[in-house]
Amino acid sequence: MPANVLILGIGNVLWADEGFGVRCVEQLASRYAFDNNVRLLDGGTQGLYLLPFLEEADSLIVFDAVDYGLEPGTLKIVENDEVPQFMGAKKMSLHQTGFQDVIATAQLMGYCPEQLLLIGCQPEELEDYGGGLRDQIAARIDPAIEIALERLRGWGIEARKGSGDQSLLADASIMRDAYEEGRPDAASACRTGDDRFFPTAK
């Protein structure tokens, strides 16, 4: 059994299906509790700020939206040395560090987790700023969680029904339910940026 396991959700919840990984970790934490050797983390788009968490982990499970070029909603499992080449569906800016870079840096520094498991979901829509998960992608959260739980059982780690530690998750105001209920619909708010600065035809 790994001494310490990090379960990480990465992505940007403001860009539709890009938030898949974060929503998986939220759901997992709301339904299951673990012993202190298992940590659940909303990694968002923190990039290299995640390195201290990787340093403490022997095994890493990552949920993410990944563009495999498959049908939307397809789950694909990638492990160990194959993980870095498949991470991340989209970079939100040129200054954002991709998780591939985080893994590579951890490897160079000699403290990358020994076991890596990526549970990736093919997104349907990424170009919807302020949008939520598409139904087809949201429906893959529970199957993705089951894959993680099965792997944890293989490592000798059992999840207990009930709410777990949510101290490393996002603020309650952007958890999925609050976010979905509080955001304006697409007809009321521009979803591709700030429309005050869009070029106009002459």
In this prediction, residue 184 carries a pLDDT of 78
Cα–Cα distance measured from residue 92 to residue 98, given in angstroms and rounded to the nearest whole number: 10
Please check whether residue 35 is in contact with residue 152, taking contact to mean a CB–CB distance below 8 angstroms: no
Cα–Cα distance measured from residue 183 to residue 93, given in angstroms and rounded to the nearest whole number: 23
DSSP secondary structure string, the chain? --S-EEEEEES-TTBGGGGHHHHHHHHHHHHEE--TTEEEEEEET-GGGGHHHHHT-SEEEEEEE---SS-TT-EEEEEGGGSGGG--S--SSTTPPPHHHHHHHHHHHT---SEEEEEEE--S----BTB---HHHHTTHHHHHHHHHHHHHHTT---EES----TTS--GGGSHHHHHHHSPPTTTS-SSS-GGG-----
In this prediction, residue 197 carries a pLDDT of 67
Positions of the chain with pLDDT under 50: 94-95
pTM of the model: 0.87
Cα–Cα distance measured from residue 188 to residue 128, given in angstroms and rounded to the nearest whole number: 13
Residue (of 12, 26, 18, 16) closest to 121 by Cα position = 18
In this prediction, residue 32 carries a pLDDT of 97
In this prediction, residue 58 carries a pLDDT of 95
